[in-house]
Structure 1
Amino acid sequence: MKSFKIALAQFSPHIGNLEANALKMVEQANEAKKQNADLIIFPELSSIGYPAEDLLLRPSLTKRTQQVFEQLKTVKDIVMVFGFVNQTEDGQRYNAAAVMKDGQVLGVYNKQNLPNYSVFDEKRYFTEGHQHLVFEYLEHKFGVLICEDVWSLSTVQQLAQLNVETALILNASPYEVGKPQHRIETMSALAKQMNLNLVYVNQVGGQDDLIFDGTSFVIAKDGSITLQAESFKEALYFAEYEAEQQAFKVNALPPALDTMAEIYQSLVMATRDYVQRSGFPGVILGLSGGIDSALTLAIAADAIGADKVQAVMMPYTYTAQISVEDAAEQAKSMGVTFGIAEINPIVNSFMQTLYPFFGNSPADATEENLQARARGTLLMGLSNKFGNLVLSTGNKSELAVGYCTLYGDMVGGFAVLKDVYKTIVFELAKYRNSISDKPVIPERVITRPPSAELRPDQKDQDSLPPYDVLDAILYAYIEEDMSQDDIIAKGFDAEVVAKVIRLVDFNEYKRRQGAIGPRISSRAFSRERRYPIVNGWKAGV
C-alpha cells in the first residue's frame, strides 16, 4: 500500500467551448502535478460543460471531443479522470468519464443512472451504461461513478462488491437552498454503509438559470469529512491518503455558510458568470428606491464591479422624494454610475396619443402600466446604445401572481431575483448590510412598506396579502404542489388562497415572456415547472 495525493478540480467550464475547457484542464493538471498530486479528478462532462443541452446533438461534437483528448494527452506523470461525451460507432451517446495517464486511456466509464426529473433531461441525449470501471493505481483500488450513480444504492453496492476502496465521483449537481449540506450528510451515511472512501468533485459556476455550487468533498469510510471545498469558488483542492493509517488526512473545513450567505453568494456568482460569459461590458437597471432594485444593485456591483454598473432613477408624479433620495444615496455609497430621467413627458405623451381611443374611460391599471413601460423603454434604449445588459429586478412573489408589467418592469435579459421570495429579499438586504462596514442599502429602503408608486399612496398590500402570508401560500402551491383545499386546511383564509392560486395560474403567460434568472429553489419558474398556458385544470383538489 502506497500513499498518494488526489487533486479535486472544482472546475467552472465554459459550456460548449471544448478547446478552452481542455486548455484549462491541462493547466490545472500541470498545476496539480507541481503540487505532487498523483491523480486529478474533474467534474461531470468537464470537456463540454453541463448542461450542454442540444449542443450534444451537433454533428461536429465527435471531432471536437477527439481534439480535447489530443490536448489532454500532452499531460504526463499524473492520472486524469475527466468527463466527456462518448459517442460510439454504433451511434450511441454516453455521459462518460475517461481515465488517462501519459496520453493513454486506461478506461472509460459510461454513466448508468440518467436523471430525467426536475432540471435534468439526460434521457433526451444519452444512453445508459451497464458496466463498472475499476482500476488499480499505487496499490489502491479505485472505482468511478458519475453524479446520479451515487444516489442509486444498488449501483454503489455493485461497485463496493468489486473490493473498491475509493470511489471517484464526477458531478454536475445544481444548487438549491440547503442542498450542499444535504449532499454531504447523505454521502456520509453512504460511505459508512458501503465502507467506501468517497471523492466527490462538483462543477462550480453559473450556467443560464442553473447554479453549480461546487462544495466538493472527501468522505472517509467511517463517514467523516476529511476535506470540504469552499462553495461558489473555482479552485484546486488536495486530499492526501496516508498508507500507514490507510485513511485520508483530515483537512480543516471551511466556515459553514448560513442560509442568507449561501443564497447571496450563489446570486452573485450566477450574475457574474452570466454577464461575463455572455460578453456584456456591464449592466444597467432601474433603481426605484425600493428594496428589490436596491438588492439587485448590490448583487450586480458585488458580481462584476461597481464601475460596470449603471443605475437610473426614473421618477414620475407619484414617486416619493424619499425614493429619489434613497436611490441616490445607495448609488453613491456603492460607487455606481447614476442618473435621473424624468418620465412625466413620456407618460403624458402616451396619454395624449391614447386619449382618442380611451376617451373618458376611468383610469385603472392601464395608466399605471404606461409608467412601467416608459421606464422599460428608457432602459432598453440605453442598453441598445451602450451595449449593457438590462437586469430585471422583480422577485418570485411578484412574478408568481403577475404583480409586474409586461414590457415594463419585466424588461431585461437577466432577472437576478426571479427565484427569491419577497420575504427572503428583505433578509438578503439585511445580510448584505451586515457584511459591510456601513450599510450599502439605506435602512429606510428596508423598513418602508413596499410600494410600486404607480398611483397616490399606493402600497403592495392594497392588492396582495401580507408578504409573509403570500409567500407561505406560494411555497405550498409551487414548491410543495399542494392543492387549494390542502392549503386552506393549513389554516389560511379560503378566499385569499383561492385568489392567490387563481393569480398564479392566470399569469403563466406573463412569466413565459420574462427573462431567465438564477434558480435557488427546488421549484423555480424555469425548466422544472412546465405548465400549459391554456388549460382547464381546477385548482381545488
Structure 2
Amino acid sequence: MSASSQNTEVKQSASETVLGITIAQLNVTVGDMDANVQKMVEAAQKARDEQSDLVVFSELSLTGYYPGDLMDDPHFMQRVDTGFQALLQASRQMPALHWVVGMPVSHAGPGHRLQNVLRVIKAGQVVLEYAKQLLPTYNIFNERRHFEPGPDVARVLRIGGAQVGFMICEDGWNDDGSAYAINPFERLRDAAPDVVISINASPSHIGKREQRHDVFRAASERNGLSILYVNQVGGHDQLVYDGASFAVEPKAGVTFEARRFEEDVRTITVDTQGRFATASGECLPDVKRSGLPTMAFYRRQIVLGLQDYARRCGFTRAVIGSSGGIDSALTIALAAEAFGPDKVTAVTMPSVYSSSGSVDDSQALCANLGVRLYRHPIAELVSGYARGFEQAFEAPLKGLALENLQARVRGVILMEYSNTWGDLLLTTGNKSEMSVGYCTLYGDTNGGLGLIGDLYKTEVFALSRHLNEAAGRELIPMAIIDKPPSAELAPDQKDTDSLPPYEVLDEILKHLIEGAGLGREEAVEVQAYVARLQATTEGSALIERVRHMIARSEYKRRQAPPIIRVRGRAFGAGRQMPIAARHY
C-alpha cells in the first residue's frame, strides 16, 4: 500500500463476502435541499428494506449539480448544512446502513473556500470524507470557479466484508494522463479496494453513454479495479443528465446498467473479487454495447429536458407560434409529448406573404396532434407599424426592416399570450439558423426555452420523420416535411435565397462549431466532406463566408433563450465566444 493512500481499516482475507449496494439514481433539483433530502431518505429506506450495506447518491446530490454562484451565498451554504444535518438524523434511524453523499463542504486551507466532497455517513456520523481532485473547466464545466482540489490521496473504507474505494466524476477520466498531471486511479490501484464507488453528475449528449463505458472499461482493465458509476438524472436549464449508472469489471467489462432518462433505485451486490450480481446473487442481464439510435436519443433528451425545465420553473402549459414550417411543427410535436396535447397551444399568425398552405398545414398538424390552434392575422398590425414609421421618420419601412417587423409582431403576440395565461413560450430556432444569424431578435427568438436549438436543420427533418415512424402515422404532415424551407417574410422567399442548401451548410457548421467535439465516426465524415469543399475555389470561399456569418451573429445568440443540449458542443455555456472581436 502506498504512503499516499489512507485505509480506515486493515483489509481482511475473505474473498467471497458479498456487499449489497443500492444505486440511488435520482432526479434532484438544484437548491431544493428539502425535496432532495426527502428523495434521498426514501431511497435509503428502500436500501435498508432490501438489507443493503450502503446506498450511493450522485455527485453534489444534496444540492443538485450544478449550483454555480449560489454557493457564494452564505444563506445557501447554511441551507446545505441544515440539509446535511437532516441526512445525519435520518441515518441514525438506519444505523446499519452506510450512505454515500455528494455535497459542497467548507475548505479551511488556502485557495477557494469550498471543496466538492463525497461523505460516507453511518448512524449519524461521518466515517469518511473525500474531496474531488480533478476539477473540470472545459465545455460546460467551471468547477475551479468555486472549488479547491482535494489532496492526491486514495480513500478506502471497509464496509461489510469488502474494501471500498471512492472517487468523484472527473477523477476517473484521466487514467490515460492526457488532461491532468494527477491520476487518482494510481492511488486507488495501490490501495487495492475490492470495488470503487464513483459518484457523478455527467451530462448527456449523443455518444456520451458509450464514451463513459469506453473510458471506465479501459481504466478498470488497466488498474484491475471493479467500478460502480452512479449518475444523476434529469434536466437542469440547458443540460440533461441521462442517468444510465453502470458497473464495470476488469475482465467482463460493463456488466450492469440502470435505466436511462428515469430515476432508478436498484440494489446489486459485489463480492471481494469485484464481481457484480443481482440483489439475490444471480447473473446480471447483458448490457448492450450500443445505446439508443440517434433520433430516439434526441427525442428522449429533449422531452425530459422540457419537462424538468417547465416543472422546476413552475410552468404547466406551453405556447408556440405555428408557421406551417418544419421547425415550429417539430417543436409543437415535442411539446405535446412532454406536456400532453391538451396543455399545448399553437398560434398561426399569417401575414400578406404567408401562403394559404402554411395556415392549412398548421391546421392539419394541430388536428393530428390534438393541439388547439388559434389564428391571429398580423397584416393590419404590420401596416399600422409601417405607416407610423413613415410618418415619424419620413422614410418608408422596407427591406430587412419590414421583414423583421413581421417576426417581431408575431413575437409580441406570443408574449402577450404567455403573459395573459402563464404558458411557457417555446422558441423554434434550429442550430443551423442560430449559427448564421438567420433569425430575428425579439421576434422568432422570443421565448423561455428552445427545444431544437442544438439540432441542425437536416436533423430537424430526420427527427420529424422519426416521430412519424414511431407513431405509425403522420403526426407531422408530409406537406410540411416536403416543402422548401421559407421564413415567408417576403414574396416567394426561400431559405436558399440567403443560405447554401442545408445539406451543405450543416456539414460546414459541424466542422466550424464542434470540430474535435464530434464523435469519431461523424468527425471522419465531416472532415472528408469539408476537405472536398476546400479543394475547390468556390467551396473554400463558402466556408469562409459561413465562418464570417457565425462570428457576426454572436450577439444574437447571446440574447437568445437557453436551448436543450443534445450534442457535444452547444451554444451557451459550452461555447463561450466574444461579441466585440474580429476573428474572421
2:244 aligns with one of 194, 215, 219:
215
Distance in 1, matches of 2:215 and 2:120, equals: 26
Distance in 1, matches of 2:204 and 2:57, equals: 18
Matches within 5 A, 1:336-351: 336-351=371-386
Give the superposition deviation at 1:378.
0.3
8 Å contact from structure 1 (residues 176, 520) kept in 2: yes
1:150 aligns with one of 172, 181, 185:
172
Q: Does 1:175 align with 2:194?
A: no
Look up the match of 1:56: 71
8 Å contact from structure 2 (residues 226, 274) kept in 1: no
Gaps of 5+ in 2: 1-15, 176-182, 278-282, 517-525
Aligned length in residues = 536
1:129 aligns with one of 137, 150, 154:
150
CA shift digits 1:319-350 (9 cap, x unpaired): 12221122112212222222111111111111
1:84 aligns with one of 75, 97, 103:
103
2:456 aligns with one of 421, 426, 439:
421
Instruction: Determine helix, strand or coil for the equivalent of 1:480.
Output: helix
| AA aligned opposite 1:247 | R
Give the superposition deviation at 1:493.
1.1
Distance in 1, matches of 2:69 and 2:509, equals: 32
1:164 aligns with one of 182, 193, 196:
193
1:333 aligns with one of 368, 385, 399:
368
Distance in 2, matches of 1:405 and 1:246, equals: 57
Distance in 2, matches of 1:358 and 1:476, equals: 44
Q: Does 1:251 align with 2:272?
A: no
Q: Does 1:140 align with 2:186?
A: no
Give the superposition deviation at 1:299.
1.2
Look up the match of 1:260: 295
Instruction: Determine helix, strand or coil for the equivalent of 1:512.
Output: helix
- Which range moved further: 356-365 or 449-458? 356-365
Matches within 5 A, 1:365-376: 365-376=400-411
Distance in 2, matches of 1:277 and 1:60, equals: 21
Q: Does 1:235 align with 2:264?
A: yes
Matches within 5 A, 1:467-478: 467-478=502-513
CA shift digits 1:149-192 (9 cap, x unpaired): 00122211210110112110000111121111111122112111
Look up the match of 1:532: 578
| AA aligned opposite 1:105 | V
CA shift digits 1:270-299 (9 cap, x unpaired): 111111100123111101111111111111
Look up the match of 1:513: 559
Look up the match of 2:543: 497
8 Å contact from structure 2 (residues 164, 197) kept in 1: yes
Percent identical: 38
1:99 aligns with one of 115, 120, 123:
120
8 Å contact from structure 1 (residues 84, 95) kept in 2: yes
| AA aligned opposite 2:542 | V
Look up the match of 1:313: 348
8 Å contact from structure 1 (residues 215, 232) kept in 2: yes
Distance in 1, matches of 2:138 and 2:397, equals: 48
8 Å contact from structure 2 (residues 458, 506) kept in 1: yes
| AA aligned opposite 1:533 | I
4+ runs deviating over 6 angstroms: none
Distance in 2, matches of 1:507 and 1:472, equals: 18
Matches within 5 A, 1:16-31: 16-31=31-46
Give the superposition deviation at 1:502.
1.3
| AA aligned opposite 1:151 | W
8 Å contact from structure 1 (residues 230, 254) kept in 2: no
CA shift digits 1:224-278 (9 cap, x unpaired): 22211222111212322256x7621242257731111111111111111111100
Give the superposition deviation at 1:221.
2.4
Distance in 1, matches of 2:441 and 2:310, equals: 23
Distance in 1, matches of 2:474 and 2:267, equals: 38
CA gap of 1:37–1:304, structure 2 versus 1, over 3 A, is farther
Give the superposition deviation at 1:358.
6.2
Instruction: Determine helix, strand or coil for the equivalent of 2:235.
Output: strand
Distance in 1, matches of 2:462 and 2:79, equals: 46
Instruction: Determine helix, strand or coil for the equivalent of 2:191.
Output: coil
Q: TM-score with structure 1 length normalisation?
A: 0.95
1:114 aligns with one of 135, 144, 152:
135
| AA aligned opposite 2:476 | I
Give the superposition deviation at 1:357.
5.1
Q: Does 1:190 align with 2:190?
A: no
Look up the match of 1:65: 80
Distance in 2, matches of 1:92 and 1:382, equals: 45
- Which range moved further: 411-420 or 68-77? 68-77
Look up the match of 2:521: none
CA shift digits 1:439-486 (9 cap, x unpaired): 211111111111111122211111100001101111111111799x97
Distance in 2, matches of 1:110 and 1:7, equals: 22
Instruction: Determine helix, strand or coil for the equivalent of 1:310.
Output: strand
- Which range moved further: 173-182 or 87-96? 87-96
Distance in 1, matches of 2:321 and 2:535, equals: 38
Distance in 2, matches of 1:253 and 1:526, equals: 37
- Which range moved further: 290-299 or 316-325? 316-325
